[in-house]
Amino acid sequence: MSAASRILAVIVSQIVLGFVASADDVPALVPYPSKVRMLGGKSQTQSVKVLKDASLGSEAYRLSVRDDGVEIWCSSSAGEFYARKTIAQLRSDNGTLPCLDIEDAPHFSWRGVLLDESRHFFGKDVVKRILDRMSDYKLNLFHWHLVDSQGWRIQIDRYPELTKRGAVRPMPDWEHWIRDDGFGEYGPFFYTKDDIREIVAYAAARHIRIVPEIEIPGHSRAVIMCYPQFSCVSMDVFMDMIRTSGKYDQAGAVCLGNDDVIRFFENVLDEVCELFPYDTVHIGGDECPRDNWKNCPKCKARMKAKEIADASGLQSWATAHFVKYLADKGRRTVGWDEILQGGLAPGAIVMSWRGHEGGIAAAQSGHEVVMCPHLYCYLDYPTGEKDDRCAYPQFCFLEKRRLPLEKVYSFNPYEGMPKEHHRYIVGSQSLNWTESTWSEKDLAYKMWPRTCANAEVLWSGPGARTFNDFQSRLKRCNSARWD
């Protein structure tokens, strides 16, 4: 290739990437900014001046690097924070910065990471390290899966049994696919209210909000182990369902005909809302077994009194009840896409995990959607790398599920959706389910760098960059160095 051809190739590549041609390399930034103009040369400056520009969005910023200083324009502290994260990535080992101009803003407002601590508990130091890494890549939402059938991990003053007994799991667990390193009783492991407050403050300082998840009405075996009266069946039958292959799922749903169950979750949500000063609470709603409700006198009485046709409608009634309950407390409700079944109360946010279909249906009905289909976003699926020695759930291998880095990067939250409904897609997230993840080492391997790929899709928008370009920048990125 001639010298002229090489120069032309550089110019074309830079136009495609959205910045003005320069002899300099593409800066090693992840996620990549909306617009970059390379000016040539290096700056030794340590001086940073922050200027307000009310016309910019709350997370947007402009950045200018010159020989005599750095200037940041923003409308909020979040914009300044992200600009400083960009500066940190730009600064070389010798302290210099490339001279350039950047205009930047996120494509999606919901850029998240889920951590499941019901199955395995990691503790606040690990959570803080995750929050640190999230902030490096401009991720702004931590979805904290604190309760499930395998353990209750948050202190609730009104119900001390939840952490006295619900935070303990017998070992080996009754579900053999939940793997643990060793044997013996697991727990009690949970977060005190002081722990929660500490982590909330730590996240807020990094412009990360936390969405806590309290599962209603399924995935509730830990609740029933503490309060057997909340089940539709006797404790003997409940334990038999757990021990009998193929039936244990039916043990996971509380009795929706029991007024005490409704009051229990209201009281729990009261304390949760006091701890988390954000506008969104997740109430689960996925994979809820309903067979017990069909034969339960209390559930049948509830359905008759409310003129509910079937068990699916009973769950819809419960979802609508808690959507309104949380709305009265100034909170929005988010739930997994199963909450669409039987109709969904206005204002609820749908988290579409079984594919794009649930999110498309929700958007068509005017609901906001967090699009996180498992085949693109579930980090409990193997990476496909030859040196991957982590444990994974057996179903991943039976169903040949793999989630390599390139597939994560190819994710398009708008796939299959008419353009007029794109406005309802607020974002997505990476999800770390931990049935087979019990150490921070394995958790970090599964999270990174796949979460970096998801972060760039959510900040830059799907299809804005190429995977080869992303991979090249990731290898050179200062903040992308992990053990």
CA distance 328 to 364: 26
Provide CB contacts within 8 A for 218, sequence distance 6+. Answer: 252, 253, 284, 285, 286, 287, 288, 289
Which of 107, 143, 219, 282 is the catalytic position? 219
Paired tokens of 231: 């089940």
Paired tokens of 16: 């495609």
- Picking from 298, 307, 310, the residue whose alpha carbon sits closest to that of residue 261 is 298
- Picking from 178, 247, 253, the residue whose alpha carbon sits closest to that of residue 220 is 253
Catalytic site includes residue 148: yes
Dihedrals phi, psi of 413, to nearest 5 degrees: -60, -20
Catalytic site includes residue 282: no
Which of 103, 104, 148, 456 is the catalytic position? 148
Which of 161, 287, 415, 469 is the catalytic position? 287
For the chain, report the end-to-end CA distance as a whole number of angstroms.
39
Catalytic site includes residue 219: yes
Residue pointed to by tokens 């960059």 = 465
List residues with catalytic annotation.
148, 219, 287
